[in-house]
A = this chain, B = another copy of it.
Amino acid sequence: MSGTVEELEAGNEAPLSEEGSSVRISPELELPTEEDLLLAAAYVYDAQYNRNIPFETSPQAIRFYYLYNHWSMQIATYFFIFLDLSLALFEEPAVYPLPFLATSLVEVLCLCTFFGRLVQFAKVTSRTVFWKDTKNICILLTILLTLLDIIIYGTLRVFNIHSVRWSRCLRPLFLINFPESRQIRRAFRSIRNTLPEVLYVFLLLIFNVLMFSLMALKLFGDRNLKTVEGASYFTNILDIMFDLYVLVTTANSPYVMMPAYNLDWRYSLFFITYIVINTYIFMSVFLAVVYNNYRKHLKNEIRKLAYMKRHKMIKAFNILKTQEGPEFVVKEAHWKHLVKMVAPDISNSHRELLLRISDEEQKGYVDKKCFLRLADLLNIQVITMKFKRHPLEIWMPHVYKSSGSLFIQKIVQHRVFVWIYDVIILINAVFIALDEKNPFISYAEWVFLTLYIIEILLKLYTYEPKTFFARNQFWNWFDTLIIIAALMATIANTAIKSAIEYNSQQILDIIFILRLLRLIRIVDSIQRFRVILTTLINIIPTMLTFGGLVLVVYYMFAIIGMELFKDKVQFFSESSTDTHALDCGNPALKDSTFARSRYCKNNFNDLASSFIVLMELTVVNQWHVIAGGFALVTHEATKLFFIAFHIVVVILIVNIFVAFILEAFFVEYSLEKSEIETTIEKKIQELGMGIQEEDVPDGQLIDNMETNENDLSGGEEMQKQSSKGLFFRIASKRYRTVDALLQRMFESEISPEDEGPSLDEILNLSPSDMYPKNPTFENSA
């Protein structure tokens, strides 16, 4: 055991000489050239990150490929995309108005960078591939159309003719079509694929609404009923259809039923039947159809990804392979060189570990099966742990190791320490709920702040600072940042107060929110809550995808909405004595539900307001009031705008979002370690360099949650083995995206020998190819 560890460490100590030897390729081995290695590395890199960029194989293209994928380039692209989108804040109708010349110049600048990015991509890939890709053509077209629109609008503006900046609707296309946004594109594909089936259910729903509307017209039309507002009730078929469509969304229940119900209680049966069929059954069917399609297409996409990865790894293997007896293999030296090129930032010892896993019997080469796993191996986050002495121990070992100091360290490591601080947080919560006007309570806040600072200082005294602030120590970072921010804000507020005798409300609000955020920690110290929280944290990255999706749709609707409803409804502040304050500046709204509910600020007068109105429409409640208000100030037909928004956002996107959360939770529930992870862990254990989670003594938890990831967790253990000084741990399954989990699950189903279908076949895989002929109970239920 110790022998193997030493070997490994020996490997660590001479990385330079080895690197040298693998770069200077000895000719008798019929070795791949440096260019071949570069190409193979590009394939592995592409496979590792699932980029799927069809790059050319020339060395120049590959160098461009690395440049193209560089993080700075990607960040720059996103920056310009969001800059372009945010222009709507400064253009008429603007939140912060800027002259047309300024915004159009910025827009042209954005278009130039988009074009530059496209040129860059064209250099990476071959001409035919470039022009075949509709994404590129779409971007080019959008650039051209936008330029055209700017020129036309600018010209007309010179002659003082008002026209519409229609190309602003197209801006989200940049966000969708750049290769970086493949997640958003996938979500859109998901929606597109779901459309046909949703359409049929929707038609059935509309048929139902029509049937019930006819029935309602005949049942209630002739009875001279009045609504609460005194309007005639259920007399016009179009109004009835709109009312009943709104009832499907439950937004006007029970309001819409009351006049009929007040007449005779039996009429309520009509509405109850309608709600049960349409709201409960049909809306669930929408979710079922959307979810089923989402799942089907998600699996298909992920299967494509997995096959593409396999495909690329085989290509890389074929470039590097040399014959060894009956089989083709990759020499250890090439393998190491390749890994160094693909992942230059992993440590030598980590690389040695991967080699040990890939070349289990230390034969000096990696066979095909093991080579194909390389991309996955690189993706698994292995934490290299070095036992570091506390700086204080190095500076003043005598004091730090004294019995008093050791006692303090023992207390801090004890679980009672965590409990005491949980209690302190709870007491703090009670104080927060109390009135802060009381001077005693505002002093108490200083006490709590001091207690929290002492906690952090004690922990820093006990644990090695670098490991305490390691990359994945989320809660340590969280605690410390909040405390520091609270401290600074409190000091700032005190300074201002003593200087100008004035409490800045903004700073007070910030302090208050920071104080509340501290309470979150208590949730995390209860096991059951932590499971839910972990899943929620894991799905944050994919939720950002939905954020992108929603942004695209909101943006388009907001631009259209601003063109339709700009300045039709005006807001007057509460204190305003303007007579128009009661009808939102528009006589058409006099006595309408919209004006009476004081919804005047729900308007499309600028981008921020539009987004907030659209958010309210997404929440659904009272959407008919908003739609009705805008229909009054323009035309009945504008209700179609709101219905379209409801269908796209509520029926499609929200359901896909729910489907995604369902899927994420199911994946989390059925989660196990992957086969590859198990292999790595076994190897780590074999080499005697692992830290078992079970070995961690309870008393040493900083807090329950962090232990799993925690470099400190094995404290004592490490002290015993400190002579070796180096340990590995696989990062636990927290903080992984659902996508990655799904992909891993599918990969475990492809046999290692399966080379997968050809590239064309992969690209044309359809979900129906995937299901086995006889589904078993497990996969169907």
Which residues of A pack against B, CB within 8 Å? 200-201, 203-204, 207, 211, 214-215, 218-219, 226, 228, 237, 250-255, 257-258, 261-263, 265, 268, 272, 275, 279-281, 284-285, 287-289, 291-292, 295, 298-299, 432-433, 436, 509, 512-513, 516, 519-520, 523, 528-529, 532-533, 536, 571, 573-574, 596-599, 601-602, 608-609, 612, 615-616, 619-622, 654, 657-658, 661-667, 669-672, 742, 745-746, 748-749, 771-781
**Cβ-defined partner of A745 (8 Å) among B533, B771, B780:** B780
Extra inter-chain contacts (12) besides given A255-B622, A265-B608, CB under 8 Å? A200-B528, A201-B532, A262-B598, A268-B615, A272-B615, A285-B661, A666-B780, A667-B781, A670-B771, A670-B779, A671-B780, A672-B775
A671 partner residues in chain B, CB cutoff 8 A: 780
Which residue of chain B lies nearest to A531 when distances are taken between CB atoms in the complex? B200
A201 partner residues in chain B, CB cutoff 8 A: 532
Q: Are A532 and B204 in contact (CB under 8 A)?
A: yes
Q: From residue A576, how far is it (CB to closest CB) to chain B in Å?
A: 11
Which residue of chain B lies nearest to A225 when distances are taken between CB atoms in the complex? B574
Q: Are B268 and A781 in contact (CB under 8 A)?
A: no
Q: From residue A737, how far is it (CB to closest CB) to chain B in Å?
A: 14
- Cα A777 to Cα B130 in complex, Å, equals 34
Q: Given that A200-B529, A253-B622 are known contacts, is A228 also in contact with B284, CB under 8 Å in the complex?
A: no
- Cα A654 to Cα B200 in complex, Å, equals 24
- Cα A42 to Cα B574 in complex, Å, equals 79
Q: Are A284 and B662 in contact (CB under 8 A)?
A: yes
Q: Are A228 and B777 in contact (CB under 8 A)?
A: no
Q: Are B254 and A663 in contact (CB under 8 A)?
A: no
Q: Are A215 and B513 in contact (CB under 8 A)?
A: yes
A433 partner residues in chain B, CB cutoff 8 A: 214, 237
Q: Are A253 and B658 in contact (CB under 8 A)?
A: no
Which residue of chain B lies nearest to A523 when distances are taken between CB atoms in the complex? B207
Q: Are B509 and A218 in contact (CB under 8 A)?
A: yes
A536 partner residues in chain B, CB cutoff 8 A: 281, 285
Q: So how many copies of this chain end up in the complex?
A: 2
Q: Are A254 and B778 in contact (CB under 8 A)?
A: no
**Cβ-defined partner of A777 (8 Å) among B299, B609, B669:** B299
Q: Which 6 residue pairs are nearest across A and B when measured between Cβ atoms?
A: A288-B665, A670-B780, A778-B779, A284-B661, A745-B777, A254-B616
- Cα A670 to Cα B596 in complex, Å, equals 52
Q: Are A776 and B745 in contact (CB under 8 A)?
A: yes
**Cβ-defined partner of A662 (8 Å) among B219, B288, B602, B665:** B288
- Cα A781 to Cα B716 in complex, Å, equals 41
Which residue of chain B lies nearest to A213 when distances are taken between CB atoms in the complex? B433
A215 partner residues in chain B, CB cutoff 8 A: 512-513, 516
Q: Are B513 and A262 in contact (CB under 8 A)?
A: no
Q: From residue A301, how far is it (CB to closest CB) to chain B in Å?
A: 12
Q: From residue A212, how far is it (CB to closest CB) to chain B in Å?
A: 9
Which residue of chain B lies nearest to A269 when distances are taken between CB atoms in the complex? B612
**Cβ-defined partner of A780 (8 Å) among B254, B597, B622, B667:** B667
Q: From residue A462, how far is it (CB to closest CB) to chain B in Å?
A: 30
**Cβ-defined partner of A295 (8 Å) among B265, B601, B781:** B781
Q: From residue A263, how far is it (CB to closest CB) to chain B in Å?
A: 8
Q: List 15 A-B contacts (CB under 8 A).
A: A203-B529, A204-B533, A211-B520, A219-B509, A228-B597, A253-B619, A253-B622, A254-B622, A262-B574, A272-B612, A299-B777, A663-B781, A672-B773, A745-B780, A749-B777
- Cα A413 to Cα B530 in complex, Å, equals 66
A253 partner residues in chain B, CB cutoff 8 A: 616, 619, 621-622
- Cα A667 to Cα B512 in complex, Å, equals 51
Q: From residue A678, how far is it (CB to closest CB) to chain B in Å?
A: 10
Q: Are A657 and B280 in contact (CB under 8 A)?
A: yes
A513 partner residues in chain B, CB cutoff 8 A: 215
Q: Are A258 and B745 in contact (CB under 8 A)?
A: no
A275 partner residues in chain B, CB cutoff 8 A: 615, 619
- Cα A163 to Cα B449 in complex, Å, equals 57
Q: Are A287 and B662 in contact (CB under 8 A)?
A: yes
